[in-house]
Chains A and B, each alone.
Chain A
Amino acid sequence: MDTFEVESPFEEMKRYVRFTDDDSRALAAFGEVAAPHFERIAAEFYERAREHQEAHAVFTSEEQIERLRRSLVRWMEGLCRGPHDGAYFAERSRIGRVHVRVGLPQRYMFTAMALIRGSFEELVETMPAEARRGTRAALARALDLELAIMLETYREAYVARIERVAEREQERLRGELARSERRAASAVEIARVMVVGVDAAGAIVLFNHEAERVTGYPRDEALGRPFGELLLPGAARGEGDRLLGIASESEAWEAAIRTRSGRERLTRWLLSPVPPTPDDTAALYAVGRDVTDESALLEQTRQSERLAAVGTLAAGLAHEIRNPLNGALLHVTYLERALRRPDGVPDALEAARFIGVEIQRLSALVRDFLVFARPAPPNRRPCSLPEVCRRAHALVADDAAHAKAEVQLDLPATDLTLLLDPDKIEQVLLNLLRNALDSVGGAGGGRVTLRARREPRQALVEVEDDGPGLPSPAAPIFDAFYTTRPQGTGLGLAIVHRAVSDHGGTVEVESRPRRTVFRVRLPLTGDAPATGP
Chain B
Amino acid sequence: MRTARTLARLLREDGYVVEVEYDSEDAIARLDRAPIPDVLIVDFLLPHADGLAVASHGRARSAALPVLVVTSYSEVLARLDRRLDPPAVVLSKPLAYGDLTRALDGLRTAAAAT
Contacts and interface: CB of A to CB of B under 8 A. Distances in A.
A446 to B, nearest CB: 22
Interface stretch (A58-66, A324-332, A398-406, A436-444): A324-332
A184 interface: no
A331 B96 CA distance: 10
B13 A326 contact: no
A326 B10 contact: no
A326 B73 contact: no
Contacts of B70: 326
A328 B3 CA distance: 8
Which interface class (under 10, 10 to 19, 20 to 34, 35 or more) fits B?
10 to 19
A206 interface: no
B6 A329 contact: no
B11 to A, nearest CB: 11
Contacts of A186: none
Given A330-B95, A330-B97, A486-B1, A319 B7 contact: no
B32 to A, nearest CB: 25
B6 A328 contact: no
B2 interface: yes
Interface string B51-81: 0000000000000000000101111000000
B15 interface: no
Which interface class (under 10, 10 to 19, 20 to 34, 35 or more) fits A?
10 to 19
A125 B88 CA distance: 136
Given A337-B13, A486-B1, A318 B72 contact: yes
Contacts of A329: 94-97
B70 to A, nearest CB: 8
Contacts, number: 51
A328 B2 CA distance: 11
Given A334-B9, A354-B2, A328 B73 contact: no
B94 A328 contact: yes
A385 B62 CA distance: 62
A330 B2 CA distance: 10
A322 interface: yes
A331 B93 contact: no
Contacts of A486: 1
Contacts of B6: 327, 330-331, 334, 351, 354
A328 B93 CA distance: 11
B3 A330 contact: yes
B2 A333 contact: no
B92 A322 contact: yes
Contacts of B75: 315
B93 A325 contact: yes
Interface in A322-368: 322-323, 325-331, 333-334, 337, 351, 354
A322 B96 CA distance: 12
Interface in A298-334: 315, 318-319, 321-323, 325-331, 333-334
Contacts of B72: 318-319, 321-323, 326
Q: Which 6 A-B pairs have the closest CB atoms?
A: A322-B72, A325-B94, A326-B93, A322-B93, A327-B3, A326-B94
11 contacts: A327-B2, A327-B3, A327-B6, A328-B94, A329-B95, A330-B6, A333-B10, A334-B6, A337-B13, A354-B2, A354-B6
